[in-house]
Amino acid sequence: MVQPLASESLVNPAPVAPRDDTAEPAWLARPPQPISLEKPGCLDGLRFAVKDNIDVAGLPTTAACPAFAYLPTDHAVVVRRLLDAGASLLGKTNLDQFACGLNGTRSPYGAVPNAFNPAYVSGGSSSGSAYVVATGQVDFALGTDTAGSGRVPAGLNNIVGLKPSKGLISARGVVPAAQSVDCVSIFARSVAMAVKVLEAALGHDAQDPYSRALPLAARPLARNFRFGIPRPLSFFGDALAETAFAQAVARLEALGGTAVEIDYGPLAQAAAMLYDSALVAERYAAIRPFFDAHERDVMEPVRSIIAAGRGYSAADLYDAQTRLRALGQQAAALWEKMDLLLVPTAPTHYTIAQMQEDPVALNRNLGAYTNFVNLLDYAAISVPSSLRPDGLPFGITLVGPCGSDWQLAELGQRYHHATGLAQGATGEPLPEPQPIRGLHTGATVKVAVVGAHLSGMPLNSQLTERGATLVREARTAPDYRFFALPGTVPPKPGLLRVAPGQGAAIALEVWDMPVEHYGSFVAMIPAPLGIGTLELADGSSVQGFLCEAQALQGATDISDYGGWRAYIAALKAGAA
């Protein structure tokens, strides 16, 4: 089979002979032969490249393993959508073999260097895609992200890496790494460009088992947002990275954020499970027929990582999945304290020589703050933050709940433009910021919630998926009784207004919801609950949940707890 020049970070789309010892280095681009439908669209005139585990009709897909190569007859769904939108495809890019790595050195076609200093790693596994964007060879590129492959290369090369919510972009036509957590990711030199590509690429695909029609939050984060900072936080002895992160915290605070420390334990434990539990069996399952027949054609340490998946039973996998769900429940409680999480995209830089000397431990360090994101079903965007005194880039990642993609992009764009950095390694200034079209800034209605819709509670997603944002915590006037409704799933309370002097002040949250989504929210409220006007302790009024009086016969009066969170806490402690 004729191979593409996957040895280069950008590959000529016209099939050519395999490289020999005189071929160009792994990061150079050949003159492009664009693939385009030549029809106008939202991406008209833009050039892109794709990671070589994504199918392009007529070009070999190698996943950086020559023995694995095949010639697809159809484009991957995401490639077809971008071509339909008017973009021109220039070629395919090098990667860590089978998308297994975060450093960019695990390829038989050569290591892809950092765009700022070729002695350093580019990050992986989407190494070539990040490099060709950072150096201005294309306007954007596609990568994939399972453990951080769409973010680490962005952070190390001063570009944007948009890791969408799982299932938002179809992965049909992509060689899987771990199919249930894989995402197609987007590299660009500005957030506005990445968002433009996401708008063209997203959409449900019924033939992709992990695709989903996912509603996205449509309101920007509150201007006084809270961002979590992991504790403990390690930079593996890199003082320059530690200083750069402190500067990032200060910049995010200047944009209106309030830093809150969160326990990184549950997230770190979830991250470790990607490779140190039966979950690694999914990497083996992804290429099992090929791997069983051609194990020796897979390079180390990729071979050992994939082979480890053979040793687990189905029962082991169920145990691991249950453990992950338990960690997810612990992590969910962290979101009661924060609107998003701030982490260093990569906590340090390594040279190519250092990485090749200790490929497993140093690769693990690069993913210290990335591996948990897809496992726990979060969205994320990596944006440039600064250039360190040694000239190497430092990037940050904003992590949010599933469906927060537009919110993260809006804040990420404001942050990126506040840095004053140039685009990638091109030296060109950033273009003007653009509105995030998926966000709405029109008319809204304030609605108060008292129970299962509170932040971190089971039904809170009914608010966030409609673009509602938390405005403030408050209490009702002292004229209400509060009841635990029997037989409701999930458990729900009922709020009833009573005569003055006979009630109590009940804790609640006030949320701001776009008017266009308010009707669908109200339609979901089951009897005996409904929406009425609540009087707050400060004398103001707001729409909120009330309950029909006749439904409260036999219900438990929990007014003395002062709110639903206190009651639920008492239940867990066995005191209620």
Catalogue the active-site residues. 51, 125, 149
- Cα separation, 150 vs 99, in Å, equals 10
Do 387 and 393 contact (CB within 8 A), yes or no?
yes
Encode burial over 288-322: b for 16+ CB neighbours within 10 A, e otherwise.
eebbeeeeeebbeebbebbebbeebeeeebeebee
Do 516 and 440 contact (CB within 8 A), yes or no?
yes
The shares of helix, strand and coil residues in the chain, as percent rounded to the nearest 5, are 30, 20, 45
**Token pair 């090369």 in the structure block, residue:** 157
Q: For the chain, state the CA radius of gyration.
A: 25
Do 433 and 414 contact (CB within 8 A), yes or no?
yes
For residue 353 the two structure tokens come to 């020589």
Edge-to-edge strand order for the sheet containing 480-484? 493-497, 480-484, 556-557
Encode burial over 535-557: b for 16+ CB neighbours within 10 A, e otherwise.
bbeeeeebbbbbbeeebbeebee
Closest CA to 326 of 284, 281, 288, 375: 375
Q: Which residues pair with 340 in a beta bridge?
A: 227
| Max intra-chain CA distance, the chain | 89
Do 146 and 282 contact (CB within 8 A), yes or no?
no
Three-state SS sequence of 489-526 = CCCCEEEEECCCCCCECCEEEEEEEEHHHHHHHHHCCC
Ramachandran angles phi, psi of 489, nearest 5°: -130, 120
- Cα separation, 571 vs 576, in Å, equals 5
- Cα separation, 469 vs 440, in Å, equals 12
| CA separation, residue 488 to residues 208, 367, 491, 508 (Å) | 35, 42, 5, 20
Helix (H) or strand (E) holding 326: helix 314-334
- Cα separation, 294 vs 292, in Å, equals 6
Encode burial over 101-128: b for 16+ CB neighbours within 10 A, e otherwise.
bbbbbbbbbbbbbbbbeeebbbbbbbbb
DSSP 191: H
Alpha-helical (H) ranges within 87-168 are: 127-134, 152-157
Do 81 and 201 contact (CB within 8 A), yes or no?
yes
- Cα separation, 297 vs 258, in Å, equals 51
Residues comprising the chain, all counted: 576
